Structure 1
Amino acid sequence: MTIKKIILPLLALACFSCGNDPLPKPKAMLRLDYETPKYSQVDVRLPFTFEKNEYAEKISSIKLDGINNLLGVNINYPKMKGTIYLTYKAVNDTNLDSLLIDAQSLTQKHTLKADEIESVLFENAEHNVFGMFYAVGGNAASQSQFYVTDSTKHFLTGSLYFYAKPNYDSILPAAAYLKNDIKHIMETVEWKE
């Protein structure tokens, strides 16, 4: 009986004395490093030119809609699982107001899921390019949108979409990177005459 009294406390002491004190784990953040943007001129069969980030792996085919004279180009970022969609529409005597309303209402459709929508007026008088940039915060489907026009002949809209269910925290680094690419596209648009 005395051996049991000695062995049991020793076993209990051995089991509990070997462990380290628990330490709280430090908070960690995922670090995503993207390449420094390098831009080059894109001259496709559209009535405008612009510069795109060379990190974008490809530009999708240009679509032509004969009824509405609608042209589009998609700038794909497969590593970020995102695409910038550009859509061009020719302006005539009667459609400028409806084009502006459509572009602005597209952004407003995201107000149900967006935490905020920041709008920034854009103006490049030297190249006759005027418009608006929208940064959409929260779990909206599109994180950035814009439109630019010369008010007489040309109207261009752009939207950023990811091929994933919107989760703002997860896509924030890629959305911020591509937001700068969209701003660069806006700043480098030049209309062809």
Structure 2
Amino acid sequence: MNKAHTMLKKRVKKQINKAILVGFLSFSVFACKEDPLPKPNGMLALNYPAANYESFDQSDCPYLFQKNDLGEVQFEKDCSVVISYPDLNGALYLTYRPVQNNIKQLLTDAQKLTYEHVIKADNIVEEKYVNDAKDVYGMFYDVSGNAASQSQFYVTDSTSHFLTGSIYFNAKPNYDSIYPAAAYLKDDIKHLMESLQWK
């Protein structure tokens, strides 16, 4: 009886040792992986075609400009314009106002429109624009963060014409997701502003 008991003990010990060895080997195989690292922040990578600018002139309106040929232009009776970008789900809105002894009020309104975005914006960078040869003077605003409009401008000759421009997207503002499209349209709105001429 003692001999059988000893053999049983040896067999159980052998099985325990096998189980420990299998467990150790399994652990060492799975434990050899590298430490997990957090994924780096990424930006949505969207590629848009290189801009091809063309002159645009509505005969009834006192200004002309160059626009990206991806934009679809719709003029209003008051010479305000909507340039839609269906592929980017956004648009540039241009609002024209004649200067009639109200330049101070027009400037105040344009600046107020931009700074209404301060609540949601992370930063607003102002860039003066002066073109003496074309008699065009103004300000470009680059707005970062979850604001409703990421780029805006106003230009004037200070005596007869005043034009404001803004980018808006047909989506809830989320700077990370609209950034590629906002950057693309920022270049367009800057080009439009810099190519603008009064008639």
Q: TM-score range by the shorter chain?
A: 0.7 to 0.9
Letter in 2 for 1:106: L
- Is 1:21 the counterpart of 2:33 in the alignment? yes
Counterpart check, 1:149 vs 2:156: yes
In structure 2, C-alpha distance between the alignment counterparts of 1:188 and 1:43, rounded to whole Å: 12
Larger Rg: 2
Q: Could you say which residue in structure 1 is the equivalent of 2:9?
A: none
| CA positional deviation for 1:11 | 5.7
Deviations 1:87-108 (A, max 9, x none): 111222x222221111111011
Unpaired runs of 5+ in structure 2? 1-11
Q: Distance in 2 between matches of 1:78 and 1:22?
A: 46
The separation in 2 between residues aligned to 1:33 and 1:98, in whole angstroms, is 40
**Alignment correspondent of 1:67:** none
Question: Quick check: 1:86–1:158 contact (8 Å CA) kept in 2?
Answer: yes
Residue matched to 1:77: 85
- Name the CA shift for 1:121/1:28 in 2 (closer, same or farther; >3 Å): closer
Work out the CA distance in 2 between the residues paired with 1:21 and 1:170: 33
TM-score computed with the length of structure 1 as normaliser:
0.82
CA distance in 1, matches of 2:49, 2:134: 29
Q: TM-score, normalised by structure 2?
A: 0.80
Q: Given that residues 35 and 55 in structure 1 are in contact (C-alpha distance below 8 angstroms), is that contact kept between their aligned partners in structure 2?
A: no
Instruction: Identify the residue that residue 32 of structure 1 maps to in structure 2.
Output: 46
- Cα pair 1:143 1:161 within 8 Å, conserved: yes
The Cα of 1:127 is off from its aligned counterpart by: 1.2
- Amino acid across the alignment from 2:40: K
Instruction: For 1:81 and 1:23, locate their aligned partners in 2 and report how far apart those are by CA, in whole Å.
Output: 41
Shift of 1:40: 0.8
Give the aligned partner of residue 134 of structure 2: 127
Alpha-carbon contact 1:81-1:162 (below 8 Å) kept: yes
The whole-number CA distance in structure 1 between the counterparts of 2:79 and 2:26 is 73
Equivalent residues of 1:133, 1:146 under 8 A apart: yes
Structure 1, unaligned runs of 5 or more: 65-69
- CA RMSD, Structure 1 to Structure 2 (Å): 2.2
Deviation track 1:20-55 (CA, whole Å, cap 9, x = no partner) reads: 614535536342222222211112242211001123
1:137 and 2:152 are equivalent in the alignment: no
Bigger mean CA offset, 5-14 vs 37-46: 5-14
Q: After the TM superposition, which parts of structure 1 deviate over 3 Å for at least 4 consecutive aligned residues?
A: 1-20, 22-26
Q: Secondary structure at the residue paired with 2:105?
A: helix
Structure having the higher helix fraction is 2
Which residue matches 1:55? Answer: 70
